[in-house]
Chains A and B, each alone.
Chain A
């Protein structure tokens, strides 16, 4: 029984650790996709955020300034994407692909200049995003160990769950959210009602970059303490997958991210104990995602105007 609770605690801990950055990025992706702009540049924006977050935290010594700047770096690339796709009517896939090359390319070049290496210098404990409730529980008891594993988690994890609620509220309970969803369904109708579609989409793509940047910063400022070129490998794409999985809704994306995180957690525990091949175990999150899609989730309805540039009538 002790073993079970330990393993279970570790799985839940790993679930939260894996899900957090995905969730930030997925919320970002929701903003962009729901407003009608395909953003496959999430990966590049995360990389920019991951780098900027660690570097700023390293130089200022304050993790929160670093975290915020990570978001702003993501927002900068979000703005590039917005200028291309919203203002200039560029093909959204092409522009996103460009962001995925530019983001990592630029930050790794800067890393070379600053540190003469593609890796940044590891953060010290005080420069990392702090853990909440650490040391509150008595780890000598089974229950205490379990709680310590699950509840004593990084502040960024608590923040992201708060963010899911906020984003859900914004999407479904505010005027801004209604307009934002309408822009992704029928921009022409919005314009006739006096909504500035261009401004709405521009804002949403920037927000999307900001959240993706925060997600990236989470990766390098919590469990891992330095930026390396392989810090962000595919998380951006997984986040996009989670959004499609969640049918373009923030609470759906939450389930997608948690499922993925849980399978990754399972992978950590199984990888250590069972004799099954590591590489096969690593496949679990991806295989399970596909199976769950087929069995339970099914079709995901893409916002009607998603991917189509909106050209304002004169």
Chain B
């Protein structure tokens, strides 16, 4: 059938449009909440927009986004390979701690050596965290979601423990590590930041994020490894029948996903944090990564844009209290967006708004065979 596609067809079929609609609905629900609370919607959203559109504001958004993008890529990679990396949180934490340890103890190394070394340490730590979970799954059949939840907390307390070790802990009274060596820092030079008017934590991280995005896309779409991992994610029995070593694939997928999670932690530390505090509860970068991966529909480029969007909301949201609106509004907006993405099937049904064609084509004979399928 060669039918001209109408507007409603376009709206109901394009994933991009669904996400856009979800985002609009998210802001509408946010506006409704603001209105109920008696706050000015214009003032709040105006503030949000203003704070992210100036050059300085935008540079903040980019800086905020980097860890979200890379954590999002980590989760997206796992989604593509059929594993739900709810452990990105733990990988992020061990990654940033590994980078901090290297960045503090090997601080005298020259920059071109130290920065890659920090990255490697973080990726190794994250990959290890992924592999342990993968090993528990492939060797003993332990459900990966369960062990990831456990290892998130083990990572959290391990990080707090290491942060308290005398060689690592800050000499002052702060409950945090020392600052990493300036040789491990990815910040732009102070003069450059001043002359252009960027935010004080502007750094090279975004370039790394772009590289990682391209790399993930390349691995998933252009390599045999990516093909095998996707095949296992799609149907592991079929993949095994096709001669793919399923257990090895699961381990590889978790290792890569974990390495990306760890790298996200390093980028956050070397870009903006410069030290790690002893926290009382999880910071949630990994969980944010899940949200970013979902908004970006697990497509590397989509995740990149979703990460920027999330970073913008997080940075803009931190300015909301200036107009008396609660920062939590952002969570409601993002939650609503994700909710509508989950039920984006309703947008597909918009097609039925169209008038029924005058003479509906006869359904193909095989139609009733297709009907009975529940999954």
Chain A interfacial positions (CB closer than 8 Å to B): 40, 80, 83-85, 88-91, 93-95, 97-106, 108-109, 112-113, 118, 187-188, 191, 230, 233-234, 237-238, 240-241, 244-245, 277, 279-280, 282-283, 286-287, 289-290, 293-294, 298-300, 302, 305, 308-314
Contacts and interface: CB of A to CB of B under 8 A. Distances in A.
Nearest to B29: A102
Given A97-B290, A280-B157, A109 B329 contact: yes
A21 B152 CA distance: 20
A298 B141 contact: yes
SS class, residues of chain B in contact with chain A: helix
Residue in A85, A97, A118 whose Cβ sees the most chain B Cβ within 10 Å:
A97
A109 B147 contact: no
Given A279-B157, A294-B136, A105 B328 contact: yes
Given A293-B140, A294-B140, A84 B145 contact: no
A289 B150 contact: yes
Contacts of A245: 146
Nearest to A297: B142
Given A95-B339, A286-B153, A313-B374, A102 B332 contact: yes
Interface of B: 33, 37, 84, 86, 136, 140-143, 145-147, 149-154, 157-158, 160-161, 164, 280-282, 287, 290-291, 294, 326, 328-332, 334-336, 338-339, 341-343, 345-346, 371-375
B145 A283 contact: no
Chain A interface mostly: helix
B332 A105 contact: yes
B136 A84 contact: no
29 contacts: A84-B339, A85-B342, A91-B342, A94-B338, A94-B341, A95-B339, A98-B338, A105-B334, A109-B33, A234-B152, A237-B149, A277-B164, A279-B158, A283-B154, A283-B157, A287-B150, A290-B150, A290-B151, A293-B136, A293-B140, A299-B142, A300-B141, A300-B142, A300-B146, A308-B374, A309-B375, A310-B375, A311-B374, A313-B372
A101 B338 contact: yes
B37 A89 contact: no
B220 to A, nearest CB: 19
Contacts of B146: 240-241, 244-245, 293, 300
**A-B pairs, 7 with minimum CB distance:** A105-B331, A101-B335, A102-B335, A299-B141, A98-B339, A279-B161, A98-B338
Contacts of B164: 277, 279
A90 B343 contact: yes
Given A97-B338, A279-B158, A313-B372, 20 more contacts: A84-B342, A94-B294, A97-B291, A102-B336, A105-B329, A105-B332, A109-B329, A112-B37, A234-B281, A241-B149, A244-B143, A277-B161, A283-B153, A287-B150, A293-B146, A293-B147, A294-B136, A299-B140, A300-B143, A309-B375
A234 B282 contact: yes
Contact of A280 (B37, B161, B280): B161
Nearest to B346: A88
B270 to A, nearest CB: 24
A281 to B, nearest CB: 9
Contacts of A83: 343
Contact of A286 (B154, B161, B287, B332): B154
B150 A244 contact: no
